[in-house]
Amino acid sequence: GAGVSQSPRYKVAKRGQDVALRCDPISGHVSLFWYQQALGQGPEFLTYFQNEAQLDKSGLPSDRFFAERPEGSVSTLKIQRTQQEDSAVYLCASRLIGTRISTDTQYFGPGTRLTVL
């Protein structure tokens, strides 16, 4: 497809379960971002990849959160031992360019809504 896709669109997990969220960026885009959006709030940065390299993970809230992009295209955000406070929409965005001061447009996917019971 032409845009960023994410799967699943909805995920319900019991507290303590592990979840994996997938992002398919726009083909050829070097940069990939993950954001977390709590209900009624704006997105907050989690982590950044340039190709397969994770260059910034300063926004990951705890060591239960782990992201990878092994071949520089598809990315997976994994949350281990989910907690209720992890309930949010997880957004992925991709960008064509990967420079340190790039202001090129980030294109967002539709997000995965995670609900932890």
Q: Which is nearer to other proteins, 76 or 80 (CB)?
A: 76
Least gap, CB of 51 to other proteins (angstroms):
12
For other proteins, the binding residues (CB under 8 A) are 4, 9, 31, 33, 35, 40-45, 48, 50, 55-56, 59, 91, 93, 95, 98, 100-111
Distance CA 25, CA 106 (A): 11
Q: Which is nearer to other proteins, 82 or 106 (CB)?
A: 106
The residues with which 113 forms a beta bridge, in sequence order, are 10, 89
Q: Which is nearer to other proteins, 48 or 65 (CB)?
A: 48
Least gap, CB of 8 to other proteins (angstroms):
13
